[in-house]
Amino acid sequence: MLTPEEAKIGRRSFLKALATLPALGAFGWTAYRERLHERPVQAGIIGSGSEGCVLLEQAPEKAIEFKAIADIRPDSRKNALDVIKKKWGVQAEVYPDDYTKLLERRDLEAVVIAVPLWMHAKVAVDALHAGKHVFCEKTMAYSVEQCQQMATAARNGKVFQIGHQRHSNRLYAQALDTIQKGLIGEVYHVRTLWHRNNDWRRDDQIKALQKAAPRFDPSPWGYPNLEELVNWRLYRKYSQGLPAELASHQLDVTNWFSGTVPMRIEGSGGIYKWKEDGRTIEDHVYLICEYPPGPISPGGLTVTFSSITTNAFDNYYEQFMGTKGTIILSGETDAMLFKEGEAAATEIAVTQSAAGEPVMEASRSRLADAAGTAIQAAQGPTSGLDRLEPYRMELEAFCSAIKFGTPVPCTVRDALSAAVVVIKANEAIRNRQTVELPPDLYRI
């Protein structure tokens, strides 16, 4: 665990690296930003719960306009209606019983899907078959077979993007650039974790739903009661648990940065703490993923992940450990750089070698000056980055892909690769065995 002073030094060192290395080009779609405002993409949203409303709230209002909502929950529909009315000044059409009615609308070009995981594939495939461009929240689908179905449906030429928002996060783009340029050397180990101290329940939403609609019955849509509707993440029928909801982000980043995908996985976990509330998915999960040799790891790579619900120490981060140094990406908003062989309280400078490669040089830092005065926050993404900005960026990229054909930041291949690891991780945990991941699993 780093002290606050050491973390400041790590941030300063990362900013120095960015100031020294060649500037990273903008995301491909940002060149079209002004033209996106000429005419907003006409869209509907299917699933307007907590994640759906985050997407609505963060959507670039001049690039996309939401005109319809499909959601079985009365409280979620009301919240979404309020957001749309406030943001776009329109009264969205509501489809409370059947999302396919929304898909029949010819005036809607695109749909954003934020339904529970078990429904991702069905809703996305229906939307693609209806000729809509599709943005679907992560994880891609509940099973590998469903992921393949979605990939097949997406061959119809419509834009299909999965919401792994780190692909639209400038902090991660900068970190990847420094790693690819060899700043921290070869990477053979990545440590990832996501720690919380709560029961992961959303019982306050049950009370709100009961108050808003006392007679609401979710059973026609496959949920026997409000408990399973609201807390669907806790039940195996609907959820792939902590690996899907949390590890999917971090293993996706590892796949992306390493340029390869795991070939085997081991797992452990169980319901350790919350044994009395009826949940059927684990509250503690531990994974070890073995990767083959790749661009940054010529000898192979081992990645660890832990997710616990009884202690929030360390919060969440991805730590890339190279032969020359370490980069830590913390909380999606912070980046730190440390030189191998030096104490964390050592300040780093980055220079160019004779061959033009970035090289770290160390000199003992005064902790009082750790925040740095020569490097302005505006030069790097470690200060003032809004954690929600990537949601806006990924939807902007989605609109650009629809209007100008620019690549989506998270492709079908990216999303399927992350989903395969998540799904097979749960298989490893529940069967108490190492699971092989042959290349066929990742084929689209």
pLDDT tens per residue, range 51-63: 999 999 999 999 9
Is 256 domain-assigned?
yes
Is 262 domain-assigned?
yes
Handedness of CA 399, 252, 80, 87 (dihedral sign): negative
Query: Which residues does 293 contact at the CB level (< 8 Å), separation at least 6?
Result: 260, 299, 300, 301
Cα–Cα distance between 235 and 183 in angstroms, integer? 43
Cα–Cα distance between 135 and 148 in angstroms, integer? 16
Give the tens place of pLDDT for each residue, 133-172: 999 999 999 999 999 999 999 999 999 999 999 999 999 9
**Side-chain-facing half-sphere of 284: CA atoms under 13 Å:** 12
Give every residue of the chain whose pLDDT is below 70, as ranges: 363-385
DSSP code of 113?
Answer: E
Choose among 393, 394, 390, 401: nearest CA to 133: 401
Overall pTM > 0.85 = yes
Cα–Cα distance between 63 and 38 in angstroms, integer? 8
Instruction: Say whether 5 sits in a helix, a strand or coil.
Output: helix
Alpha helix positions (H), 37-143: 50-58, 74-88, 99-103, 120-129
CATH number of the domain enclosing 279: 3.30.360.10
Cα–Cα distance between 129 and 343 in angstroms, integer? 57
Is 239 domain-assigned?
yes
What pLDDT score does 366 carry? 44
Choose among 116, 336, 135: nearest CA to 229: 116
Is 330 domain-assigned?
yes
Cα–Cα distance between 164 and 148 in angstroms, integer? 18
Question: Could you tell me what percentage of the chain is helix, strand and coil, using 3-state DSSP and rounding each to the nearest 5?
Answer: 40, 25, 35
Is 244 domain-assigned?
yes
- Label the pairing between strands 435-436 and 264-270: antiparallel
Please answer whether residues 436 and 292 qualify as being in contact, where contact means their C-beta atoms are separated by less than 8 angstroms: no
**Side-chain-facing half-sphere of 295: CA atoms under 13 Å:** 14
Cα–Cα distance between 444 and 436 in angstroms, integer? 18
DSSP code of 292?
Answer: -
What pLDDT score does 364 carry? 55
What pLDDT score does 133 carry? 98
Which tokens hold the place of 6? 């050491």
Each residue of 370-384: b (16+ CB within 10 Å) or e? bebeebeeeebbbee
Which tokens hold the place of 253? 């980043």
Is 436 domain-assigned?
yes
Amino acid, res. 98: D
Each residue of 195-219: b (16+ CB within 10 Å) or e? bbeebbbbeebbebbeeeeeeeebe
Which domain covers residue 426, as residue numbers? 4-22+170-199+233-382+415-442
DSSP code of 323?
Answer: S
DSSP code of 25?
Answer: P
What pLDDT score does 109 carry? 98
Which tokens hold the place of 349? 């400078």
Is 427 domain-assigned?
yes
Quote the radius of gyration of the chain (alpha carbons, Å).
Answer: 22
Is 97 domain-assigned?
no
Each residue of 96-127: b (16+ CB within 10 Å) or e? eeebeebbebeebbbbbbbbbbbbbbbbbbbb
Instruction: Say whether 137 sits in a helix, a strand or coil.
Output: strand
Choose among 430, 137, 71: nearest CA to 266: 430
Based on the number of CB atoms within 10 Å of its own CB, is 1 exposed (0-12), middle (13-18) or buried (19 or more)? Answer: exposed
Number of domains in the chain: 1
Please answer whether residues 279 and 235 qualify as being in contact, where contact means their C-beta atoms are separated by less than 8 angstroms: yes
Cα–Cα distance between 309 and 275 in angstroms, integer? 12
